[in-house]
Amino acid sequence: MTERVFPDWHNIYREQPVETMPWYFDGLDPDLARDLEAIDLHGGRILDLGTGPGTQAIELAARGFTVVATDLAAAAIEVARARAATRGVVVEFRVDDVLDSTLEGRFDAVIDRGCFHTLPPARRGDYVAMVADRLPPGGHLLLKCFSHLQPGDVGPYRFTAAEIEAVFASALELTLLRETVYHGTLDPLPRALSCVLRRRAA
């Protein structure tokens, strides 16, 4: 089995224009838009984990949501702040590691478009605990990750519906899952899962 190489996120954002990154999508991801409709969430507080260039956080703020958006990479947060200022929207961008988070408070929804599927498998339980702490019972995680239908094993981890269900089962219930693509700059677009998970009552 190929040994997994974890990206150096700091250097990636320092050295590469965000518009060239595989995950860059300048607009609200259509799967995220559909999932927000599915949970009937049209306002409130959203936490965007691993926001990168901040495209989704900015789109959500432009639609009236109150958004906190975090990333491990300070260089990504700098880019995202500048883009929000240019767009004229307010987003609270913070450098924060999802696996060693200093965030507090609760959110109506947490979104993750491509962060979870890059994390070391041994730390997935810590990720689930972090998300569960930020959601009230009934709050939602909207998660986009690579699908098991994406060929190869280079890049992010791939998941089946059963694997997503199992990883989150202790704290969140999988309520909706669609096979889709990861909208970005690659051709063809990678196969992806769009997942809605609901925080269980404590």
Ligand X SMILES: C[S@@+](CC[C@H](N)C(=O)[O-])C[C@H]1O[C@@H](n2cnc3c(N)ncnc32)[C@H](O)[C@@H]1O
51 binds ligand X (CB under 6 A): yes
Closest contact distance (angstroms) between CB of 201 and ligand X is: 27
Residue closer to ligand X (CB basis): 52 or 139:
52
| DSSP single-letter state for residue 28 | -
Tokens representing 93?
């961008």
- Measured from the CB atom, is 142 or 177 closer to ligand X? 142
- Contact call for residue 35 and ligand X (CB under 6 A): no
Which of the stretches 33-41, 48-56, 81-89, 186-194 binds ligand X when contact is defined by CB under 6 A?
Answer: 48-56
Interface with ligand X includes 97 (CB under 6 A)? yes
Among 35, 50, 109, 132, binds ligand X (CB under 6 A): 50
Q: Does 199 bind ligand X (CB under 6 A)?
A: no
Structure tokens at 154: 């280079």
Distance CA 141, CA 2 (A): 31
Given phi > 0 = left and psi -120 to 50 = alpha, else beta, which region is 114? left
Tell me the backbone φ, ψ of residue 45, rounded to 5 degrees: -100, 130
- One of 23, 65, 146, 159 touching ligand X (CB under 6 A): 23
Contact 9, 76 (CB under 8 A): yes
One of 36, 46, 52, 107 touching ligand X (CB under 6 A) = 52
- Provide, rounded to whole angstroms, the least separation between the CB of residue 183 and ligand X: 9
* 53 part of the interface to ligand X, by CB under 6 A: yes
Give the count of alpha carbons within 13 A of 146, CB side only. Answer: 19
Q: Which residues contact 22 (CB under 8 A, 6 or more apart)?
A: 155, 182, 184, 185, 186, 190
**Pick 86 or 202: Cβ nearer ligand X:** 86
Q: Which of 99, 161, 176, 186 binds ligand X (CB under 6 A)?
A: 99
Site for ligand X in 108-127 (CB under 6 A): 113-115, 118
Distances (CA, A) of 162 to 117, 128, 150: 15, 16, 16
Among 171, 109, 112, which residue's Cα sits nearest to residue 140?
Answer: 109
Residue 174 has phi, psi (to 5 degrees) of -75, 120
Contacting residues toward ligand X, per CB under 6 A: 9, 23, 50-53, 55-56, 71-73, 76, 97-99, 113-115, 118
